[in-house]
């Protein structure tokens, strides 16, 4: 990761160079007013669409609306069946009435409460399992060779369940920490060490959603891509999510306390590794079924005969989490900001670029993916089976829950320090008088938590930008409260305060970033010292 000073020096330089580039278009006037954006959000987040669950009628309605808009605006279809690219899924659901979890210590069995202590996570438990296995605490459960971190060294995990705290030590750069905390990477190391299952203890210092809200929706079905090529966690028999407020019982008799672990974890300090006194007895009954959904792909063809076969992707997920446990009497998780906001932006920008065609050298691909909420699945499928030549995708600009809930002054750029696309995003932001910043909350791990990550893993430079705040300001509290109260809750609906001007400014930023990326002869490249460069073929 580059030093703060070199980032600042770069930005000073970037302002000057991009002011020259953008002087030809009008810099003060944007192409958006926030109102068309909001009307799309209102459609997508309406109660009648029932939260746009993957595979549901509500999501199909949302997709039909998006296709209608794209068609009306004159975009070309670029899916498999017209605008659609079908995707097949398996769905997993726990039958809790027939399942159980218990902690066995010194011959004493204590049944765990699914609501209050721990539940079977179907993201990682894809088949019924009946097992009993000793527990080992492995810190953050990470093996990061680049930083000589091996939390599994000298630990006997054969046939055991690895217990870990979500997070990473502070000396691990954000990108690296994000990458190794993906389910597949973490499991790769644990599996190689012989583990058969995991207990994930949420880190109280980095939980976006309180346990009470996580727990009420624990039985919401999870999904995975049906094709075997996508199976990421071979040998993982059981995944359990643990309430940090109940985690002390796991540590009884080990010579350590969870309070001690949580304190270290809060400051991202290194964690000890040791065998726990108890073992876990689990009976998981999993119900499965298959279902189908689709991505939506539209195209605006560039004018340069050679470059028009290259694509800049603008992506956003259109699915949300559907109908769930009622909160304040409301069962519909509308997903207005997550990610009606990003889907609406894609429709708005497609319409604007078609209606005001500036010189467009490369082509732009507008991608509305499904099943992001199920683990970035629609984008994973698209990245593996793109509807254009794989090597022709030069960049992904992903938009997910960009949160125009305060005036737009500060723009967080996920991937800022990783590639030339990050530099360009910073320069475009600067040219609009915005302050670009890197992620001020690396613990939240957001760079791998949305669809851009699947493009990154195919070597494609990507960014995800969000309206943001300066640490320590009142705006920070507005964002914190939003996550605690509205994120993945029924109140992320159209009856919440939004800043239409901030949304319009963000759309203008995105439009300019797409145009500059499409029209700059050089493809964006990963920085020589970027961790993610390893995925690029060149
Ligand atoms: Zn979400």
CA 510 to chain centre: 19
372 Cα–ligand 1 center, Å: 7
Pick from 23-32, 297-306, 446-455, 511-520: least confident = 23-32
pLDDT score for 29 = 59
Measured in whole angstroms, the distance separating CA 448 from the mean position of its chain's CA atoms is 5
CA-CA distances (angstroms) from residue 499 to 38, 331, 402, 428? Answer: 10, 26, 12, 21
Is residue 21 pLDDT above 50, yes or no?
no
What pLDDT digit, counting tens, does each position of 432-452 carry?
999 999 987 766 777 778 999
Q: How far is CA 292 from the centre of its chain?
A: 21
> 488 C-alpha to center of ligand 1: Å?
6
In this predicted structure, what is the pLDDT of residue 3? 30
Rounded mean pLDDT of 318-333?
Answer: 95
Average model confidence (pLDDT) for the chain? Answer: 92
User: 70-77 contacts: CB < 8 A, separation 24 or more?
Assistant: 70/296, 70/298, 70/347, 70/350, 70/366, 73/347, 73/350, 73/351, 73/354, 73/355, 74/354, 75/298, 75/299, 75/300, 75/350, 75/354, 75/366, 76/298, 76/299, 76/300, 76/301, 77/297, 77/298, 77/299
Closest alpha carbon to 320 in 2, 26, 28, 56: 56
Q: What pLDDT digit, counting tens, does each position of 199-230 carry?
A: 999 999 988 889 998 999 899 899 999 999 99
Displacement of CA 256 from its chain's centroid (Å): 33
- pLDDT band, very low/low/confident/very high, at 196 (cuts 50, 70, 90): very high
User: What average pLDDT score do residues 251-270 get?
Assistant: 97
Helical packing angle, 35-44 and 500-519, nearest 10°: 100
Q: How many CB atoms lie within 10 A of CB 457?
A: 20
The rounded Å distance from CA 373 to ligand 1 centre is 5
Mean pLDDT, residues 111-123 taken together: 97
The residue behind tokens 């980032």 is 7
Q: Is 286 left (phi over 0), alpha (psi -120 to 50) or beta?
A: beta
Q: How far is the CA of 335 from the centre of ligand 1 (A)?
A: 8
**3-state class (DSSP) for residue 71:** helix
Better-scored residue on pLDDT, 184 or 243:
243
Q: 110: CA distance to ligand 1 center in Å?
A: 34
The pTM of the full predicted model, rounded to 2 decimals, is 0.86
pLDDT of residue 18: 35
Q: What is the pLDDT of residue 340?
A: 98
Q: How far is the CA of 310 from the centre of ligand 1 (A)?
A: 30
402 Cα–ligand 1 center, Å: 11
Provide the CA 153 distance to its chain's centre, in angstroms.
30
- Going from the Cα of 338 to the center of ligand 1, the distance in angstroms, rounded, reads 5
What is the Å distance from ligand 1's center to 316 Cα?
11
pLDDT at residue number 28:
39
Cα of 412 vs centre of ligand 1, distance in Å, is 18
In this structure, is the dihedral angle defined by the CA atoms of residues 111, 117, 122 and 124, taken in order, positive or negative?
negative
Q: Which of 310, 293, 313 is nearest to 452 (CA)?
A: 313
Lowest mean pLDDT among 45-59, 165-179, 310-324: 165-179
How high is the pLDDT of residue 538? Answer: 57
């Amino acid at each position: 990761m580059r030093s703060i000073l070199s980032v600042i020096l770069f930005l000073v330089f970037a302002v000057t160079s991009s002011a020259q580039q953008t002087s030809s278009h009008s810099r003060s006037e944007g192409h958006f007013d926030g109102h068309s954006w909001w009307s799309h959000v209102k459609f997508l987040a309406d109660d009648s669409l029932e939260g746009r669950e993957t595979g549901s009628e509500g999501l199909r309605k949302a997709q039909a609306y998006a296709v209608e808009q794209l068609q009306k605006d004159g975009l070309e279809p670029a899916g498999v069946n017209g605008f659609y690219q079908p995707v097949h899924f398996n769905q997993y659901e726990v039958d809790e009435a027939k399942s159980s979890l218990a902690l066995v210590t010194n011959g004493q069995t204590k049944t765990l409460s699914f609501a209050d202590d721990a539940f079977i996570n179907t993201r990682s438990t894809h088949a019924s399992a009946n097992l009993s296995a000793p527990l080992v605490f492995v810190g953050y459960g990470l093996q990061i060779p680049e930083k000589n971190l091996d939390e599994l060294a000298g630990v006997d995990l054969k046939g055991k369940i690895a217990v870990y705290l979500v997070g990473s030590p502070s000396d691990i750069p954000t990108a690296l920490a994000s990458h190794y905390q993906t389910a597949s990477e973490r499991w790769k190391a644990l599996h190689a060490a012989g583990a058969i299952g995991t207990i994930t203890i949420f880190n109280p210092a980095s939980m976006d959603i309180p346990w009470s809200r996580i727990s009420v929706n624990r039985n919401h079905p999870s999904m995975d891509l049906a094709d075997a090529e996508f199976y990421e966690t071979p040998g993982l028999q059981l995944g359990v999510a643990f309430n940090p407020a109940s985690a002390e019982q796991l540590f009884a008799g080990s010579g350590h306390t969870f309070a001690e672990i949580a304190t270290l974890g809060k400051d991202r300090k290194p964690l000890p590794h040791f065998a726990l006194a108890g073992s876990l007895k689990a009976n998981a009954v999993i119900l499965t079924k298959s279902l189908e959904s689709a991505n939506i792909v539209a195209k605006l063809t560039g004018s340069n005969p050679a470059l028009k076969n290259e694509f800049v992707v603008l992506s956003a997920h259109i699915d949300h989490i559907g109908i769930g446990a009622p909160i304040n009497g409301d069962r519909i998780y509308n997903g207005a900001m997550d990610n009606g906001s990003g889907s609406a932006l894609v429709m708005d920008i497609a319409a604007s670029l078609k209606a005001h065609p500036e010189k467009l050298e490369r082509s732009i691909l507008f991608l509305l993916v499904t099943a992001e909420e199920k683990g970035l699945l629609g984008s994973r499928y698209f990245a593996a089976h793109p509807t254009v030549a794989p090597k022709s995708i030069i960049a992904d600009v992903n938009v997910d829950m960009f949160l125009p809930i305060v005036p737009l002054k500060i723009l967080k750029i996920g991937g800022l320090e990783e590639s030339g696309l990050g530099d360009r995003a910073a320069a475009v932001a600067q040219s609009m008088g915005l302050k670009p910043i890197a992620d001020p909350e690396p613990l939240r791990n957001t760079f791998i938590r949305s669809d851009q990550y699947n493009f990154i893993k195919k070597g494609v430079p990507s960014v995800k930008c969000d309206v943001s705040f300066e640490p320590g300001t009142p705006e920070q509290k507005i964002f914190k409260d939003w996550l605690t109260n509205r994120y993945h809750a029924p109140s992320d609906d159209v009856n919440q305060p939004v800043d239409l001007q901030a949304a319009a400014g963000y759309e203008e930023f995105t439009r300019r970033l797409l145009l500059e990326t499409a029209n700059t002869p050089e493809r964006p490249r990963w920085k020589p010292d970027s961790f993610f460069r390893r995925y690029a073929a060149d």
